[in-house]
Amino acid sequence: MTKSILITGAGGQVGHELAIAASPHRLIALDRRQLDITDSTQLAAVIEAHRPHIVVNAAAYTQVDRAEHEIETAFAVNRNGVANLAEFCRQAKIPLLQLSTDYVFDGSKKGAYCETDPIAPLGIYGASKAEAETLLQASLEKHLILRTSWVFSASGSNFVKTMLRLGGEREALGIVDDQHGCPTSARSIAEVLLQIADRYLTNATIEWGVYHYCNSPPTTWFGFAREIFKQAGGYHDLELKPITTSEYPTPAQRPLNSILDCSKIETELGIRPKSWAEELTRVI
C-alpha cells in the first residue's frame, strides 16, 4: 500500500523543495491557499480527505524583522498553527515533523549549540518558534523537531538572492562579519525531512525529539557573501566590506553565535551535514 506524506507550507523555500522531491511515497504538498494551518476547520477537512500517514510542517511566518511589529501574526502561524497540527496528529495517531530555527538561542554560548542547551530567543520570531517547540513536546508523543539555520534556495526570499540583486545595483556592500552560523540549503533540509519520514514509514525505529541539521562548516554572513560572489562570477568590481552587527542595526536582534551541533542526527539517524558551498553551487 502506498503511504502518504502531508506537506504544509509548499509555497515556502523548504516546502517547495519538499513538493518537487523524489519519494517512494505519495506527497500531498499544499501551500497556504490550499491549507492555512491556523484554520482548524480547513485542517480537519484536509486530514479527513487525504488521511496522511505522517505530516511535515514547513509552514511558517519567517519575516524576522517584520515579526517585531506583526507579533500576533507571527504567533498565530508559528505557535497556534503548530498547536492545531499537533492536535489533529494526536487524534489521527500520526507523527509530526516540525521545522524550527537557530534563533531559539540567544547566541551567548561559546561553541556550537546542542539540542539540550536551554533556549532563550532574542526576538519575536525566535520566541514564536520556541513556544511552538514547547507546545509540541507537551502535546504529541511522536514528534520530531528539526532546528536549522540560514536557509537559502533558488526560490523565495533569502540572503543569496538578496546579495546577487544588491551586487548588481551597488559598487560596495557592507556585510556583517560578527554573526556566526551555518548556511543551509532548503534542498538539503527537504532531503533530511523526507529521509526521516521514509524511515518511519518503512517501520524503522526513530528516537523522537529535537535534532539539529545544517550544512557545514560555520561561517559569517560576510564569509557567505564572499563565496556567493566568487561562485556567481561577474562581480569583480564589487567591494565587500566586513562590518559589525552594531553598524547594521535591524528591528530584530540576532544571535552572534547560532552554530548548531549536528552530531546527534548523525549518530541517531546516520545523517551527515552537507557542504553549504557545494549546495550553493547547485542554487547559483
**222, three cell numbers:** 560576510
Q: Is 173 inside any structural domain?
A: no
Q: Is 199 inside any structural domain?
A: yes
CATH number at residue 20: 3.40.50.720
What is the number of domains present in the chain? 1
Residue 193 has pLDDT above 80, yes or no: yes
Helix (H) / strand (E) element for 175: namely: strand 172-176
User: How far is Cα 101 from Cα 106, in angstroms, rounded to an integer?
Assistant: 12
SS3 19: helix
Q: Is 63 inside any structural domain?
A: yes
8 forms beta bridges with: 30, 57
Residue 205 has pLDDT above 90, yes or no: no
Q: Is 253 inside any structural domain?
A: no
User: φ, ψ for residue 280 (rounded to 5)?
Assistant: -60, -40
Residue 214: exposure state from Cβ atoms within 10 A (0-12, 13-18, ≥19): buried
125 is catalytic: yes
Q: Is 166 inside any structural domain?
A: no
H helix count then E strand count, the chain: 10, 12
**Which tens digit of pLDDT belongs to each residue from 230-270?**
999 988 889 999 999 999 999 999 999 999 999 999 999 99
Global pTM? Answer: 0.95
**147, three cell numbers:** 532546528
Q: Is 221 inside any structural domain?
A: no
Q: Is 121 inside any structural domain?
A: yes
Percent of the chain with pLDDT over 90: 95
Active-site residue, selected from the candidate residues 125, 200, 211, 213: 125
Average confidence (pLDDT) over 122-141: 97
Nearest to 36 by CA among 95, 88, 74, 84: 84
Domain that holds residue 81: 4-157+185-214+259-270
**What pLDDT shows up at residue 268?**
95
**Which tens digit of pLDDT belongs to each residue from 25-77?**
999 999 999 999 999 999 999 999 999 999 999 999 999 999 999 999 999 99
Q: Is 177 inside any structural domain?
A: no
Nearest to 144 by CA among 215, 79, 45, 213: 213
Residue 1 has pLDDT above 80, yes or no: no
SS3 230: helix
